[in-house]
Amino acid sequence: MSPTLLIADDEPLLARVLESELKTLWPEAQIVAVVHDGVAALDAARLHEPDVAFLDIRMPGMSGMDVARELIELDSPPLVVFVTAYDQFALEAFERAAVDYVLKPVQHERLECTVERLKARMAAKAEAEGEGEADSDIGTMVDTDRLAQLLQRLESLEKPVAVRGQYLRFVRALVGQEVRIIPVDEVIYFEATDKYVNVVSANGEALIRTSLRELLQQLDPDRFWQIHRGTVVNIECVASAVTQSLGRLSLRLRNRPESLPVARQYAHLFKQM
């Protein structure tokens, strides 16, 4: 069966160049979709289930990183190749994660190397499946832990770094008709809702008018860990991580009855040390 490829780049000219180069270097492959924004990329990935997704990191709506986070959650995620203009410092993150990348503008020799790596990964997957090892890491082809770690690394490069000691100390939250001042130290977890973020503490729940992404940039990353697209937990309030069916994880909290689901892209945070 021919390998299937997805291309997502918000610059149509660059997308056409990449498509043309891939047709030359990998004539047996089938390009199932060429799209120009992150939402369309995710829709196309779900529709076509490609073997490889070439994702421009910077796209409107959803970035390539946002799309990759969603792809990790699929039962059979594609191999991801990031198309990027990042400098050499950032590219070290790609090398450590063993995730391939193509620099803009696309260079024939570099793309040829990428195609050969992809062919090798896919051949190894086919061999593993032939030997009945489809459930192994090599059988699933995508190392989701490494990809998740790369996404966190890339996101940190784009965030303004808060100076230690200047992290958020209080949140002003709406409770009924009053605005309550809640020390961040008392927060158990933050949970995104449609228009607000729900602040859960030992004293109850309250709502704040901010996005979870903006809030996360103001929190101490050593204490507050994102575990799901819509959940950030105070790690000091976590009692244990429990493996559920299909390898999914959930967190048990100290002195709280509810459990918090952990998205696959954050599961590596709770691997045994």
Tell me which residue of 240, 224, 151 sits closest to 190, measured CA to CA.
Answer: 224
What domain range includes position 94? Answer: 4-158
* Residue 165 placed within a domain: no
Instruction: Please give the pLDDT value at position 170.
Output: 93
From CA 55, how far away is CA 67, in angstroms rounded?
Answer: 8
Terminal CA-CA length for the chain: 40
Has residue 164 been placed in a domain? Answer: no
pLDDT for the residue numbered 159: 55
State whether 217 and 122 are in the same domain.
Answer: no
Per-chain mean pLDDT for the chain = 84
What integer is the mean pLDDT of 102-107?
84
Under a CB-based contact definition with an 8 Å cutoff, are residues 82 and 114 in contact? no
Confidence check: pLDDT of 227 > 90: yes
pLDDT of 89 strictly over 60 = no
The whole-angstrom separation of Cα 37 and Cα 44 is 11
pLDDT tier at 273, thresholds 50, 70, 90: very low
**Neighbour-count burial of 130, counting CB atoms closer than 10 A to its CB (0-12 exposed, 13-18 middle, 19+ buried):** exposed
Cα gap 18→68, rounded to integer Å: 19
pLDDT over threshold 80, residue 173: yes
pLDDT of residue 232: 96
The answer as to whether 163 is a domain residue is no
| Distance, CA of 111 to CA of 128 (rounded, Å) | 26
Task: Tell whether 128 and 182 lie within a shared domain.
Answer: no
72 and 116 housed in the same domain: yes
Nearest Cα neighbor of 62 from 46, 79, 50 is: 46
Q: Say which residue, 32 or 266, is predicted with more confidence.
A: 32
Q: Is there a single domain that holds both residue 123 and residue 254?
A: no
pLDDT of residue 190: 97
> What is the domain count for the chain?
2
- Answer yes or no: do 58 and 86 share one domain: yes
Q: How much is the average pLDDT of 177-185?
A: 90
Residue 190 vs residues 156, 196, 206, 219: alpha-carbon distances, Å? 20, 10, 10, 11
| 177 and 212 belong to one structural domain | yes
CATH code, domain with 232 = 2.40.50.1020
CB atoms within 10 A of CB 137: 13
Residue of 237, 241, 258 whose CA lies nearest to 250:
241
Q: Which residue type does 121 have?
A: R
Phi, psi of 157 (to 5 degrees): -70, -25
Q: Which residue has the higher pLDDT, 46 or 106?
A: 46
Residues 233 and 129 in one domain: no
Higher-pLDDT residue of 233, 94: 233
* Best CA proximity match to 98, nearest among 114, 119, 111, 86: 114
- Strand 224-228, strand 231-234: pairing: antiparallel
Least confident segment among 76-85, 132-141, 197-206? 132-141
Per cent of the chain over pLDDT 70 is 85
